[in-house]
Amino acid sequence: MNTIKEPAKFALRPYQAQLKADIYSAWTRCRFVLAVLPTGGGKTITFADIIHDHEGAVCAIAHRQELVSQISLALARDGIRHKIIGPKDVVKLCVNVHMMELGRSYYDPNATVAVAGVNTIVSRKKKLANWGKTVTLWVQDECHHVLKENLWGKASALFPNAKGLGVTATPLRADGKGLGSESDGIFNELVEGPEMRWLINEGFLTDYRIFAPPSNFERPDDVGASGDFSRTSMASAVQKSRVMGDVVEHYLRLASGKLGVTFVPDVATAELVASQFNDRGVPAAVVHAKTPTAERFRILRSFKNRELMQLVNVDLFGEGFDLPAIEVVSFARPTESYGLFVQQFGRVLRLLAGKEWAIIIDHVGNVLRHGLPDSPRAWSLLGRNKKQSKQEDMIPVKACPECTSVYERFHKACPFCGFQSLPMSRSSPSAVDGDLEEMDAALLAQLRGDIAKVDQTLEDYRLALAARRVPLIGQMGHVNRLAAQQAGQAALREQIALWAGHQRALSRADSESYRRFFFKFGIDVMSAQALKTTDAQLLQEKIVKDIDSLVNTA
């Protein structure tokens, strides 16, 4: 059997080509590679190009059956003839999609490249065993699902002679399990493409505006083993609030006439919200996992043609789904999963002619919970400790009470309308977000006093201990500890000064820098200068790491 491949239909963008090269490099060191690229960055295009170049049998695995046609179309666009391992109706659907999009079919039951749904190949593993031994490359989209013992891990085990590639925008799981072979997963090495903010700045994704209108919505508290809320609790919380009415009202206020997708927790809520949109003159339709495939394609075509302006969906467009470019997303489905949040957010960042901003309207506190999706993240194949913060150095966000825009809290005033909230108290660092310019005189005097204790001479300290009748051996121990603390503080303060210099080089005001420091490192600049030796060393290491990231992204 031979797969007939036409010349590649397109050239990868430079950053996609670099990611492809990094994947090949990682394969020289290990067998299973996980590649990270933000939603909208072109993960499918990149792995389709890798499949195009591969000499040998390949299986591309979709994590949901309805996404088989998307991978099939991606391969067809790159001129790759392939077979479909799935029910007859899925094969027929793929052929029809090829015909509609490309005017010809790339389906070939004798091809060495295959596309399959994960459920199908696992359920047919005995029948496919001999073929599986011939496969020398497997690719799994949305690979954050893949663990050693689950369905996706069992799918990869069907190919004992193959190297593997997993791709995802968010290599983490809500349940905290790790994707690495030394943890709960199978991957040996992680390679990363550019971050979301770089893609936005370079014009590959659309920049965004977030709005969080006032709401009486209360987030559920029943996070289960999956790491997210149950569908029942989400639906109940939404129904008890005024969210369903707010969705239509604020869409009309902020994004009237724009193509939108609304995320809701269940079908009943979706039908009610769609009805409210239609009653207000906004053509809307409901789509969910059980919507018949032909009907779903008809709805998406109508949406792309702007015959429908709103798609109200239930867990369908969250990950992997190749949604047409849209202009606005409304969150009416809360989630504790950072990965799902970023996947849903990313739906609106794809480029579209005439779109100045991607608009996000958050009615359920997802942005306030998770922060901005383009904040830098340190990805790892290791699992997350249950006691560990999901993102310790994430700068929190706030919603402006005047214009409802969302922005990072290092801003003193709303960068969109200029409204400034005055702190209710100035007597603690947390009350003013670590901003030294906002602290009252008594607090500043207290912090200066704490620093003075660290900076006193060793002899003055010894004399003070002697005056308190501390035994000589005790004096020596205390003095030695102060000397060590001073040495640690000298190294820490040098790094604080370097960090501040980088902030000034970025033209950031001191007030903003104080706030950034507080949120990044969990302590204000003055309190940091009174830390004990061990804590000072830990903070110094964090600052050095952050300076390195500033230099590398400059």
Give domain limits for the chain. 14-194, 199-373, 429-553
pLDDT at site 294: 78
pLDDT at site 388: 41
Angle between helices 88-102 and 293-304 in degrees, nearest 10:
20
Check if the beta carbon of residue 346 is closer than 8 Å to that of residue 366: no
Q: Strand (E) positions, 265-401?
A: 284-288, 310-314, 328-331, 358-362, 397-399
What angle is formed at CA 383 by the lines to CA 380 and CA 386, rounded to 5 degrees?
130
What the block records as the tokens of 167 is 């791709």
One-letter amino acid of 312: V
- Strand 284-288 relative to strand 310-314, pairing: parallel
| Dihedral of the alpha carbons of 273, 66, 223, 219, in degrees to the nearest 10 | -20
Tokens 């891990």 belong to residue: 153
CA atoms within 13 A on the CB side of 456: 18
Alpha-carbon span 500 to 520, nearest angstrom: 13
* Burial tier of 85 (Cβ tally within 10 Å: 0-12, 13-18, 19+): buried
Alpha-carbon span 46 to 74, nearest angstrom: 10
pLDDT at site 514: 96
From the list 481, 479, 482, 499, the residue with the least C-alpha distance to 540 is: 499
Check if the beta carbon of residue 265 is closer than 8 Å to that of residue 234: yes
Phi, psi of 361 (to 5 degrees): -115, 110
400: left (phi over 0), alpha (psi -120 to 50) or beta: beta
Check if the beta carbon of residue 54 is closer than 8 Å to that of residue 84: no
- Strand 57-62 relative to strand 135-141, pairing: parallel
Beta-bridged to residue 85, according to DSSP, are 116
CATH number given to 199-373: 3.40.50.300
Q: Is 138 helix (H, G, I), strand (E, B) or coil?
A: strand
Check if the beta carbon of residue 62 is closer than 8 Å to that of residue 320: yes
Check if the beta carbon of residue 233 is closer than 8 Å to that of residue 265: no
pLDDT at site 9: 67
Contacts for 431 with CB less than 8 Å, ≥ 6 apart:
423, 424, 425
CATH number given to 14-194: 3.40.50.300
Alpha-carbon span 413 to 433, nearest angstrom: 13
Q: Strand (E) positions, 39-150?
A: 57-62, 83-85, 113-117, 135-141
pLDDT at site 553: 61
Alpha-carbon span 476 to 450, nearest angstrom: 21
Convert 107-126 to b/e letters by CB count within 10 Å (16 or more is b). bbeebbbbbbbbebbbebee
What the block records as the tokens of 414 is 């709303």
Alpha-carbon span 278 to 282, nearest angstrom: 5
Check if the beta carbon of residue 132 is closer than 8 Å to that of residue 97: no
Check if the beta carbon of residue 166 is closer than 8 Å to that of residue 35: yes
Give the DSSP per-residue string, 452-487.
HHHHS-HHHHHHHHHHTT--HHHHHHHHHHHHHHHH
Check if the beta carbon of residue 251 is closer than 8 Å to that of residue 282: yes
Q: What is the pLDDT along the chain (554 residues), one digit of tens a residue?
A: 445 567 666 789 999 999 999 999 999 999 999 999 998 899 999 999 999 999 999 999 998 766 888 899 999 999 999 999 988 988 998 998 899 889 999 999 999 999 999 999 999 999 999 999 999 999 999 999 999 999 999 999 999 999 999 999 999 888 889 999 999 999 999 999 999 999 999 999 999 999 999 999 999 888 877 788 888 899 899 989 989 889 999 999 999 999 999 999 999 999 999 999 999 999 999 998 888 877 888 898 899 899 999 999 997 776 556 677 799 999 999 999 888 899 889 889 999 888 999 999 999 999 999 999 888 888 999 887 543 444 556 789 999 999 999 999 999 899 999 999 888 899 999 999 999 999 999 999 999 999 999 999 999 999 999 999 989 998 999 999 999 999 999 999 999 999 999 999 999 999 999 999 999 999 999 999 999 999 999 999 999 998 987 776 65
pLDDT at site 245: 86
Phi, psi of 152 (to 5 degrees): -70, -35
Q: Is 320 helix (H, G, I), strand (E, B) or coil?
A: coil
From the list 143, 145, 137, the residue with the least C-alpha distance to 115 is: 137
Tell me the Cα Rg of the chain.
Answer: 27
Alpha-carbon span 494 to 496, nearest angstrom: 5
Q: Is 359 helix (H, G, I), strand (E, B) or coil?
A: strand
Number of H helices, E strands in the chain: 20, 15
Prediction pTM value: 0.85
One-letter amino acid of 298: R
